[in-house]
């Protein structure tokens, strides 16, 4: 097989591949193709639907066109359709603000755009032999003004995460370099399945920090690529969540016998967690009974780190509504500029009261001011409707 000596441009997926040197070697030196994964196929389908839809809105100066969107959704798998149901109902766009869809931005080692503004910049640069160091394809760019832009990155997976990863810094950097008039760039992770989003914002003054992060990753990539070019190089394998998109996960991983991502199927992992959870419950209960009678238990590991199991006091403070609002009002009279309290203070614990029929009108009024935050939680539970099994029925 052909070995590539020049490192490919650094892009989000290449950054993720660097998590395991062996996977990087397989994908970018040996060019072993990735095996198809249902989640990747769903992502591709949904991205195609969204790109075609947004391009249609832009070309026809429309905020929304549900007929067109429905027709597009009919053409994809059920899995891909399901992820877009919420998006269909709760999105419209200002077509005049859409700067572009699937904008490919390529930069050289000095962060200079290689072919500014051209979709397919990478292919064009490759043809004329220009070397590209940084590359990204931005799902959607909205220009709020000449100086403010928003990058929307569609996510179809099941967990809502905060924009703290490499991509959330890398894409704003690409856009800043591509459009020098921008002063502020917002990066929005849009979880289409839930109609929820998470954002992070950068200003032009953040560019040195963003460049340093990209340069550091590029340097690491170069070093890895060079090290893997030496004859007889033995790339290290490091298992992790990235194993899920490794072409060697089914065969070829040097850690195949120990790698927990390979040795257990997802269903077996779930069974193992259920067993661990039960074992943990039993063990903690035994320990608790012992501590209850005899006081704290202590131990330490070989590094001298000490652990203790025991009961400790925990105080939770709650503020009764009527008295608190009276005191807060007095406070705000003397501190009218303390807007943080009035704008950010929220009340919880109302839901059960609002369920009562006699408070229907109150529930309605409060619904209009309620703030809903959508998050995801990892659960392992019985499927609803399943009855507990009767053990050893006589
Ligand atoms: S499957 Fe093996 S080679 Fe692939 S990423 Fe995981 S540890 Fe690395």
Band the pLDDT of 213: cuts 50, 70, 90.
Answer: very high
Pocket of ligand 1 (CB under 6 A): 20, 22-23, 237-239, 242-243, 246, 248-249, 253, 255, 259, 261
Atom of ligand 1 nearest to the CA of 246: 4
Stretch 276-293: mean pLDDT, rounded? Answer: 91
Using DSSP's 3-state secondary structure scheme, residue 150 falls into strand
* Cβ neighbours for 280, distance < 8 A, ≥ 6 positions apart: none
308 CA distance to ligand 1 centroid (A)? 37
Q: What percent of the chain has pLDDT over 70?
A: 92
Give the other-Cβ count within 10 Å of 161's Cβ: 14
208 has a pLDDT exceeding 90? yes
> Residue 153's closest CA among 203, 101, 107?
101
47 has a pLDDT exceeding 90? yes
Q: What DSSP character marks residue 113? A: B
Question: b or e along 245-282 (b: 16 or more beta carbons within 10 Å of the residue's beta carbon)?
Answer: bbbbbeeebebeeebebbeeeeeeeeeeeeeeeeeeee
Give the other-Cβ count within 10 Å of 207's Cβ: 16
103 phi/psi in degrees, rounded to 5: -80, 120
The chain-wide mean pLDDT, for the chain, equals 88
Q: What percent of the chain has pLDDT over 90?
A: 58
Band the pLDDT of 385: cuts 50, 70, 90.
Answer: low
Tell me if 309 sits within 8 A of 291, measured CB to CB: yes
* Cβ neighbours for 215, distance < 8 A, ≥ 6 positions apart: none
Band the pLDDT of 361: cuts 50, 70, 90.
Answer: very high
Dist CA 10 CA 136 (whole Å) = 8
- Model confidence pLDDT, tens digit, residues 252-263: 899 888 888 887
- The pTM of this model reads 0.79
Atom of ligand 1 nearest to the CA of 238: 7
């Amino acid at each position: 097989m052909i070995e590539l000596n020049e490192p490919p441009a650094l892009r989000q997926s290449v950054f993720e591949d660097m998590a395991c040197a062996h996977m990087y070697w397989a994908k970018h030196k040996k060019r072993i193709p990735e095996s198809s994964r249902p989640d990747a196929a769903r992502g591709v389908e949904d991205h195609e639907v969204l790109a075609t839809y947004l391009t249609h809105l832009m070309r026809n100066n429309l905020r929304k066109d549900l007929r067109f969107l429905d027709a597009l959704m009919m053409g994809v798998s059920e899995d891909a359709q399901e992820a877009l149901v919420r998006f269909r109902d709760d999105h419209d766009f200002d077509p005049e603000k859409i700067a572009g869809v699937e904008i490919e931005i390529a930069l050289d080692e000095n962060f200079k755009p290689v072919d500014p503004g051209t979709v397919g910049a990478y292919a064009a640069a490759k043809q004329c032999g220009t070397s590209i160091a940084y590359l990204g394809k931005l799902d959607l760019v909205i220009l709020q003004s000449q100086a403010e832009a928003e990058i929307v990155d569609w996510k179809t997976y099941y967990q809502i995460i905060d924009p703290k990863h490499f991509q959330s810094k890398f894409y704003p950097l690409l856009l800043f370099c591509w459009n020098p008039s921008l002063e502020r760039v917002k990066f929005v992770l849009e979880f289409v399945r839930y109609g929820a989003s998470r954002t992070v914002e950068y200003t032009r003054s953040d560019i040195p920090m963003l460049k340093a992060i990209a340069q550091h990753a590029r340097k690491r990539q170069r070093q890895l690529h060079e090290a893997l070019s030496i004859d007889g190089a033995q790339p290290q394998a490091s298992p992790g969540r990235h194993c899920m998109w490794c072409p060697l996960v089914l065969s070829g991983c040097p850690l195949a016998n120990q790698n927990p991502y390979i040795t257990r199927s997802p269903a077996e992992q779930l069974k193992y967690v259920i067993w661990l959870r039960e074992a943990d419950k039993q063990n903690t209960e035994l320990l608790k009974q012992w501590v209850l009678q005899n006081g704290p238990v202590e131990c330490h590991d070989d590094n001298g780190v000490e652990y203790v199991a025991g009961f400790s006091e925990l105080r939770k403070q709650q503020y009764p509504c009527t008295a608190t609002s009276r005191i807060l009002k007095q406070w705000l009279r003397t501190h009218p500029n303390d807007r943080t309290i009035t704008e950010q203070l929220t009340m919880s614990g109302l839901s059960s009261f609002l369920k009562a029929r006699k408070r229907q009108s109150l529930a309605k009024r409060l619904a209009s001011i309620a703030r809903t935050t959508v998050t995801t939680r990892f659960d392992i539970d019985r499927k609803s409707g399943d009855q507990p099994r009767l053990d050893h029925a006589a």
